[in-house]
Amino acid sequence: MIRRRLRNTLLPGLVLALAVLVTGCAGIPQSGAPQIGQVVPADEDPEIEFLAQGPEKDATQEQILRGFIDAASSPRDDYATAREYLSPAIRSSWNPDASALIDEANRRTITSVDALTMQVSLVPVASVDGTGEYSEFPDPQATTRGFSLVQIDGQWRISVAPDGVVLDEQKFSEVFNPYALSFFDPSWTHLVPDLRWFPSRASTGTQIVTALLNGPSEWLAGAVTSAFPEGTQLTRNAVPIVSDVAQVDLNSEAFEADDVTLQRMQAQLSASLTGVSTINSVSIAVSGNVQDIPALSVAGTRVDPRPLALTEDGFGFLGGGSVERLPGLSPQIEALGAAAAVVNANHSLAAVLTGDGVYAVRQSQSSGLRVDARTGLIAPSLDRFGFIWSVPQGEPGALLAIRADGSQSPISSSWPDASSIQSIQVSRDGTRLLALVRTAAEPRLLVAGITRGENNTPVSLGDPLVLAVGDGAGLSATWIDEITVASLVGSSDGRGEVVTQVIGGESEQLATLDDAVQVVGGNTVKQLRALSSDGNVRVLRTSLWQTTATGVAFLATQLGSPS
């Protein structure tokens, strides 16, 4: 059951900021010395508007506990107001940053256990751990948190409190913001986002940089890399902001970095700090010595916004009532009687599914080469290194990476419980695989990091994240952008459920539609397209799916655009 909703304004802005920054055209400058100006004071929290109230005189135990929970919604000055509700013995040791539980406020209750103990019962729908990683609970279960109280000078105060905070969904959306930590793919050409959630306050930049230096999330660890030398940390636990410049002073381990590594470090920091409103640029110092670092241009993953499809008029981009065919590729794809296709960024290679297997189609050749002749194959995927990913629907563990010359390498998959697989798609940066599988009697949408070996050959998949998916038979899944995916499931009455999911963030169930068989992403959720069994292409406009093209046999997937 899908319970959560995408944040309507913040997350699209985050994705847009990432897209602008990685093109190297705009965004946070990656070079230049800082200018002297006003330092943002440590107690100034410009993004926080929620003002907590301290304990009232002669408040009851329940009033103190409710007041504490409400006050813990404000991180201002290191949760100073919430700490007023605590006894001196735990006031400094209580750690609000340990976790956050997001619950439904109307289902939260407080009861007395005995004269000095109270219990809060709640139904969490999501959580954020100490590293900022967000997790949704598809089937929320009730839980409790215990508190002890003591009287100090006649006033009740909390003497035992679990670390972390509890916020209802509304307050969470006001207090916490998503920030995309940025790591490199193994070829050092693309930045890969690793979404984390932190409360907005003066120290948010410090939290982001600290998390970045500590490395990627566990599920991404084998798929991405970081330019920061091992052991690199901040010289002090602060990233001061001077005239909109985040000053990042690193310890002596960073002395190991050469000029190119420094550029990559700057690129990671700049991209990771994009979402902080008080920061416009980043300066790196090593043991107090400011580095002069030239800008580094990083590749983007935008695709042509036009749908790429097979119609009666041929294979190519749709627009203006005509089909713009791809030189060298379209004739071969049409001749093969293709049922599905994916095309690389420069339109020199395509992976094509036909009735008798998967073919590699190269622009430089006159006919396609069958590279997988197994029966029951699903639509293949293609990665930016030229590997074709192919697997039979009934054998999820038989995943192969195939070169355009037909040579094959098995990939150790990470879904041993899957009984079938409906869809696979490699992210455009080549670091993650999205898979729609079936386990027992339900669909499951998974994303896993890709570990590569020599010559970027895919070797294995890491432990997957489980993403939100609708109820029904799994049909199709797709990447929308660097951090957002969509899935399509069909119900027995022919209705299709489309769910979008920010990886490491929230999910949203879109309007249902009839008789859909495929979804294909563009560059934004607004460019997400659904194909019906009768060949109609639909795009979501406000709350309705509207037909934008007809007579389409299938929609093809793009890895990028030559321009």
DSSP secondary structure string, 69-124? HHHTT--HHHHHHHHTTB-TTTTTT--GGGEEEEE-GGG-EEEEEETTEEEEEE-E
Domain ranges of the chain: 1-137+145-298, 308-558
Q: What's residue 386's pLDDT?
A: 97
**Residue-wise pLDDT tens digits, 218-230:** 999 999 999 999 9
- Which has more pLDDT, 26 or 475? 475
pLDDT of residue 493 exceeding 90:
no
Average pLDDT over the chain, rounded to whole? Answer: 90
pLDDT of residue 536 exceeding 60:
yes
CATH top class, domain 308-558:
mainly beta
HSE at residue 507, side-chain half, CA atoms within 13 A, is 25
pLDDT of residue 98 exceeding 70:
yes
Q: What's residue 50's pLDDT?
A: 65
The percent of residues in the chain predicted with pLDDT above 70, rounded, is 91
Q: Which two tokens stand for residue 415?
A: 């879904």
Q: Write the DSSP string, 494-527.
A: SEEEEEEEETTS-EEE---EESEEEEE--SSGGG
Give 105's pLDDT tier (boundaries 50, 70, 90). Answer: confident
Q: Where are the beta strands (DSSP E) in 130-231?
A: 134-136, 143-152, 155-160, 165-168, 176-184, 191-199
Average pLDDT on 122-131 reads 95
The percent of residues in the chain predicted with pLDDT above 90, rounded, is 82
